[in-house]
Amino acid sequence: MGKWNWETAETEILALLERLVNIDSGTFDKPGVDAVRAVLAQHYEALGFKVEKDEQTERGDNLLITHKDAVDPDILIVAHMDTVFPQGTVAARPFSRDEQRAYGPGVVDMKGSQATTLYALKYLIAIGSEAYRRVRLVLNTDEEIGSVHSRRLIEEQAKLSRYALIVEPSDDAGTLVTGRRGGGKYDLHIRGVAAHSGAEPEKGRSAIADLAHKIVKLHALTDAPSGVHVNVGIVAGGTSGNTIAPNAFAKIDLRMETAEQAIEYDGRIREIAAAVDIEGTSTELIGGITRPPTIRTEGSDRLFAIVVEEAAKLGETIIGKNVGSGSDGNLTSALGIPTIDGLGPRGGNLHEADEYLRIDTLVPRTKLLAALIERLGTEK
Ligand SMILES: [Zn+2]
């Protein structure tokens, strides 16, 4: 067994976390996300990993990582490098910490997971385990907007894998995610005809009035008992108070429990968008299902049982639950690949200014991920 000291490791994990948090990497900030990507690539290369870039024009470049000595790499790990925080957030509130918690943009969602994942692999290499050779990693750059650009890469890599480990953060209680609702995102653009609302209103066709009808119909699709929610989260439109609005815009969010619902409600949204509620207006709908709902299989149940066992050996009791939000685990699970999600460090207040990571969970979650890779990588 090689030399390994968990106290030293914790100090190093925290240092790497601080470095990663202090680089703004909002999804739309390509230079920022690419800077995080460069730091991680360097660390993986130093451990003997082969780092391939999946270049992107609008977003940061995704990374595909396997070890130089990889043999049948069929344990997929997915971790995103983007955050929901725009450029300038680090300047306003950089990494900070107190006794129990670390703070800063993306500290637990999911820069903490980037640090623990790297150290889980570093640990396996240090102790002479062979399991790191079985790992393939996708570090993607647009999870926070639904992985539109990285979906193809994730699905392609998932198809080559037996398991998918998604290192999204865990909640404060350490819950693992066994299922997630699916989701869709849409941009609805409506074009009307402008006219002076006092002088010749009859010439106008209001895009806003058309949108108003559609918003009511869209919200009426929500069927809470069945787990379907439709939300119009952003609206815009018009040019001035006394002009019949020539344009209107809405952002629509769909959440659902089952694959059947995904098809049904995607269709209903399209129908509502295509309907002409105000004569003379026209619409364009962009978007679709970004995340199919996760599916529970024998394989995913077995994987969860393995996680529970490995956690128990480390003195941790794991609870699994289904949650409403989506992640890249939806993509791998929908392909039938046994998937477990929420393997990252524990924390809370994700996507908020007081987002935090529980420092005392950095080492335990590094150990759990390492134990899991070891177990899955050596079973036959
Ligand atoms: Zn996340």
Q: What is the pLDDT of residue 296?
A: 82
pLDDT band at residue 320, thresholds of 50, 70 and 90? Answer: confident
Please give the distance, rounded to the nearest whole angstrom, from the Cα atom of residue 327 to the centre of ligand 1: 7
Please give the distance, rounded to the nearest whole angstrom, from the Cα atom of residue 169 to the centre of ligand 1: 7
Please give the distance, rounded to the nearest whole angstrom, from the Cα atom of residue 270 to the centre of ligand 1: 28
Q: What percent of the chain has pLDDT over 90?
A: 90
Please give the distance, rounded to the nearest whole angstrom, from the Cα atom of residue 85 to the centre of ligand 1: 12
Please give the distance, rounded to the nearest whole angstrom, from the Cα atom of residue 208 to the centre of ligand 1: 34
Contact 38, 116 (CB under 8 A): no
Please give the distance, rounded to the nearest whole angstrom, from the Cα atom of residue 350 to the centre of ligand 1: 8
Q: Name the class of domain 185-291.
A: alpha beta
Which pTM value belongs to this model?
A: 0.86
Pair of tokens at residue 370: 């390492």
Please give the distance, rounded to the nearest whole angstrom, from the Cα atom of residue 110 to the centre of ligand 1: 5
Please give the distance, rounded to the nearest whole angstrom, from the Cα atom of residue 106 to the centre of ligand 1: 8
Cα(297)–Cα(335) distance, integer angstroms: 11
pLDDT band at residue 380, thresholds of 50, 70 and 90? Answer: low
The residue ranking higher by pLDDT, 40 or 290, is 40
Q: What is the pLDDT of residue 180?
A: 86
Pairing of strands 320-323, 135-140: unpaired
Contact 16, 23 (CB under 8 A): no
The residue ranking higher by pLDDT, 207 or 317, is 207
Q: Name the class of domain 6-181+294-377.
A: alpha beta
Cα(106)–Cα(84) distance, integer angstroms: 8
Instruction: Evaluate if residue 187 carries a pLDDT over 90.
Output: yes
Cα(136)–Cα(373) distance, integer angstroms: 11
Pair of tokens at residue 161: 């894998």
**pLDDT (average), residues 245-268:** 96
pLDDT band at residue 322, thresholds of 50, 70 and 90? Answer: confident
Q: What is the pLDDT of residue 2?
A: 58
Contact 62, 135 (CB under 8 A): no
Please give the distance, rounded to the nearest whole angstrom, from the Cα atom of residue 157 to the centre of ligand 1: 19
| Average pLDDT of the chain, as a whole number | 95
Please give the distance, rounded to the nearest whole angstrom, from the Cα atom of residue 239 to the centre of ligand 1: 37
**Dihedrals φ, ψ of 287, to 5°?**
125, -165
- The ranges of the chain annotated as CATH 3.30.70.360 are 185-291
Instruction: Evaluate if residue 1 carries a pLDDT over 70.
Output: no
pLDDT in tens, 138-158: 999 999 998 999 999 999 999
Q: What is the pLDDT of residue 177?
A: 85
Mark out the alpha helices in 99-257 (DSSP H runs). Answer: 112-126, 151-158, 207-219
Contact 376, 163 (CB under 8 A): yes
Please give the distance, rounded to the nearest whole angstrom, from the Cα atom of residue 168 to the centre of ligand 1: 5
CA distance from start to end of the chain: 23
Please give the distance, rounded to the nearest whole angstrom, from the Cα atom of residue 111 to the centre of ligand 1: 9
- The ranges of the chain annotated as CATH 3.40.630.10 are 6-181+294-377
**pLDDT (average), residues 314-331:** 87
Please give the distance, rounded to the nearest whole angstrom, from the Cα atom of residue 201 to the centre of ligand 1: 48
Instruction: Evaluate if residue 78 carries a pLDDT over 60.
Output: yes
Cα(202)–Cα(192) distance, integer angstroms: 13
Instruction: Evaluate if residue 295 carries a pLDDT over 90.
Output: no
